[in-house]
Amino acid sequence: MKIKLTQNGEWHWLTGGIVVSLLSIATYVLFEKLSYKDYPFGITAGVAYIAASFKYVFVSLADNPVIQKNWTSPAAFVEFIMLFGIILGAYIGAKLSKNYSPEVIPAVWEKYHGTNVWKRFGVVLLGGFCLGLGTMLAVGCTTGNILQGWAHLSLGSMVAGACFFIAGIIVAKLLYPKAGGR
């Protein structure tokens, strides 16, 4: 099967939409079979599974009911494995696009904010914190809310997804005030 790419090496929007839809269906079926419930795809519990592994470092965490739940949950383990799949899939997708060029400081960041790696690290850290806070407030990650929640026509996921997009546009305008589309 040949994947249709645009002239600049990116996936055509329709091809990407079909692939994401098929993966959404496959992960939903996988989750139902592996975790014995109809639990939509997401990765939040995978991160919780990693956090639960700290019970070996901090012994007092072993009695925490949230830690116990995420350590013994089949769904949390499946989502933990999916975290590696996301990393591997992103790498394979980048290589297939023929546009793979890792960079510490992206050109648009350098243009607006300079080459200070620590400033970039601080903004990324703050952004990660805000993303985690948003995940907690939305009761799920962007992946689960948008890819699965929208597929199930969940009103809460649609509101959360709209908020994700609006916040992304606001942050992009704050970070890159004069950047625009082509």
76-122 per-position pLDDT tens digit: 777 788 888 888 988 887 887 777 777 888 888 888 888 999 998 99
Query: For the chain, what is the domain count?
Result: 2
pLDDT for 130:
83
Q: Do 31 and 115 belong to one domain?
A: no
3-state secondary structure the chain: CCCCECCCCCECHHHHHHHHHHHHHHHHHHHHHHHCCCCCCCCHHHHHHHHHHHHHCCHHHHHCHHHHHHHHCHHHHHHHHHHHHHHHHHHHHHHHHCCCCCCCCCHHHHHHHCCCHHHHHHHHHHHHHHHHHHHHHCCCCHHHHHHHHCCCCCHHHHHHHHHHHHHHHHHHHHHCCCCCCC
Going by pLDDT thresholds of 50, 70 and 90, the confidence category of residue 166 is very high
Q: Do 45 and 118 belong to one domain?
A: no
Q: Do 93 and 174 belong to one domain?
A: no
pLDDT for 144:
73
Q: Do 118 and 162 belong to one domain?
A: yes
Range of the domain at 40: 1-102
Domain boundary (80, 102, 124) is at 102
- Determine which of 6-10, 94-98, 148-152 has the lowest per-residue pLDDT on average: 6-10
pLDDT for 122:
92
Residue scoring higher pLDDT (1 or 74)? 74
Going by pLDDT thresholds of 50, 70 and 90, the confidence category of residue 8 is low
Contact present, 9 and 97 (Cβ < 8 Å): yes
Q: Do 86 and 137 belong to one domain?
A: no
Q: Do 144 and 92 belong to one domain?
A: no
Domain boundary (69, 102, 135) is at 102
Q: Do 114 and 90 belong to one domain?
A: no
Q: Do 88 and 130 belong to one domain?
A: no
Q: Do 71 and 48 belong to one domain?
A: yes
**C-alpha triplet 141, 19, 24: angle, nearest 5°:** 40
Query: pLDDT tens-digit profile of 132-141?
Result: 777 777 767 7
Confidence check: pLDDT of 37 > 60: no
Contact present, 62 and 71 (Cβ < 8 Å): no
Q: Quick one: DSSP state of residue 1?
A: -
Q: Do 7 and 85 belong to one domain?
A: yes
Q: Do 79 and 113 belong to one domain?
A: no
- Nearest in space to 105 (alpha carbons), one of 119, 91, 86, 125: 119
Contact present, 123 and 116 (Cβ < 8 Å): no
Domain boundary (102, 128, 146) is at 102
In 98-138, alpha helices (H): 107-113, 117-137
Confidence check: pLDDT of 125 > 80: yes
Residue scoring higher pLDDT (159 or 8)? 159
pLDDT for 118:
93
Q: Do 93 and 109 belong to one domain?
A: no
- The sign of the dihedral angle between the CA atoms of 30, 32, 36, 40 is positive
Q: What is the tally of helices (H) and strands (E) in the chain? A: 8, 0
